[in-house]
Amino acid sequence: MRDVIPAYPPFSLSAVVESHGWVQLPPWTWDPDAGLLTRVERLSTGRVVALRIEAAPERSGVRVEAVDGLSETEGCEVVDKVGWMLQLDQDLSAFYALVHDEPRLAHVPEAAKGRILRSPTLFEDTVKTILTTNVQWSGTIRMVRALVDRFGAPLHDDLARRAFPTPERLAAADEASLRASGLGYRAPYVLDLARSLAAGDRDLEGLREADLSSEDLRRELLSIKGVGDYAAASLLMLLGRYDAVPVDSWARTLVSREWHDGEPVGRAEVEAAFQDWGTWKGLAYWFWDWRHQTLHETIEKR
């Protein structure tokens, strides 16, 4: 399979991939020099494939390469998953029009920024988001890698490369095994979510296209054990709902430095800083040009 999937312009693969630290988490890999994004993915048929994704000519979309011999259904699934992960159909023209006169956001349309890399399933994004709470970024990487290495389905020709585990696979595990993978207090949260999905008690993927207000969607996310205000706001961003800011200690630090001379601030001050951006406030926060921010701090936090 080798398909070109178009994107709503403007589009930049590197801008999406480097939008946050998700690409550092297995089963993603990114070669910035070659402009090559790869991912091991388990399809609904049970087949595990390696996806190779690169920019199409003139930044019109992406070229996707997968193993030959995919059925038509499998090929369509790959196209759908890549489109979702890279938000290829997202129209950001309304956001670009708003940021035109804001110096701290003027770089966004110029660099085709605004899309945020996400996983092919809300389950994977939810688990990974839970694993970002109360831990440094290096700890999140270790936990995700352990989950993939221990519970992910391997490629048939490279057993060291594995897909993200399915809810069914994690549901069959026990809490002790997840704790042994370094998840700590998060283990029962991940296990509860996996088991509820495997049993059909929760339709998490249905939230991706649900006709719900952002507030109702937020309440659904908050009903998941281990998902608090920060995690819910982060997941809303990944679902394309930008009317909330994911407020954590890093957000408070940034806003404190930017507008409050380093004095301590809380959630209210962070929300107020971006209130004027309305339904786009999350993106305005995410792509703000933080003059005090350093690359090391960004990578360590996200």
Residue of 282, 274, 261, 169 lying closest to 218 (CA atoms): 282
Residue count (the chain): 302
* pTM of the full structure: 0.94
In angstroms, the CA 65 to CA 3 distance is 7
Number of structural domains the chain divides into: 3
pLDDT digits (tens, 9 = 90+) for 194-225: 999 999 999 999 999 999 999 999 999 999 99
pLDDT digits (tens, 9 = 90+) for 245-296: 999 999 999 999 999 999 999 999 999 999 999 999 999 999 999 975 544 4
Q: Helix %, strand %, coil % for the chain, to 5? A: 50, 10, 40
Q: Are 47 and 1 in contact (CB under 8 A)?
A: no
Residue after which a domain boundary falls, among 110, 144, 159:
110
Q: Does 197 lie in the same domain as 143? A: yes
In angstroms, the CA 227 to CA 186 distance is 10
Q: At what angle do helices 122-130 and 187-198 cross, to 10 degrees?
A: 160
pLDDT (0 to 100) of residue 293: 54
With a CB cutoff of 8 Å and minimum separation 6, the contacts of 203 are: none
Q: Does 210 lie in the same domain as 276? A: no
On the question of pLDDT at 133 being above 50, the answer is yes
Q: Are 8 and 88 in contact (CB under 8 A)?
A: yes
Q: Which amino acid is at 262?
A: G
Q: Is 169 helix (H, G, I), strand (E, B) or coil?
A: helix
- Whether residue 168 lies inside any domain: the answer is yes
pLDDT > 90: what percent of the chain? Answer: 92
Q: Does 283 lie in the same domain as 216? A: no
pLDDT digits (tens, 9 = 90+) for 42-76: 999 999 999 999 999 988 999 999 988 899 999 99
What's the token pair of residue 31?
């070669």
- Whether residue 240 lies inside any domain: the answer is no
Q: Does 81 lie in the same domain as 142? A: no
Residue after which a domain boundary falls, among 199, 229, 259:
229
CB hemisphere CA count around 189 (13 angstroms)? 22
- Whether residue 10 lies inside any domain: the answer is yes
Q: Do β-strands 61-65 and 48-55 pair in parallel, antiparallel, or remain unpaired?
A: antiparallel
CATH number, domain containing residue 134: 1.10.340.30
Q: Does 175 lie in the same domain as 133? A: yes
Higher pLDDT, 114 or 299: 114
Cis peptide before 57 (omega within 30 of 0): no
What's the token pair of residue 206?
């249905």
Residue of 277, 240, 245 lying closest to 102 (CA atoms): 277
What's the token pair of residue 142?
């270790």
Q: Is 75 helix (H, G, I), strand (E, B) or coil?
A: helix
- How sure is the predictor about 1, in pLDDT bands with cuts at 50, 70 and 90? confident
- Whether residue 195 lies inside any domain: the answer is yes
State which residues form the domain around 219: 122-229
In angstroms, the CA 231 to CA 234 distance is 5
On the question of pLDDT at 301 being above 50, the answer is no
On the question of pLDDT at 299 being above 50, the answer is no
In angstroms, the CA 32 to CA 177 distance is 35
pLDDT digits (tens, 9 = 90+) for 100-121: 899 999 999 999 999 999 999 9
Q: Is 4 helix (H, G, I), strand (E, B) or coil?
A: strand
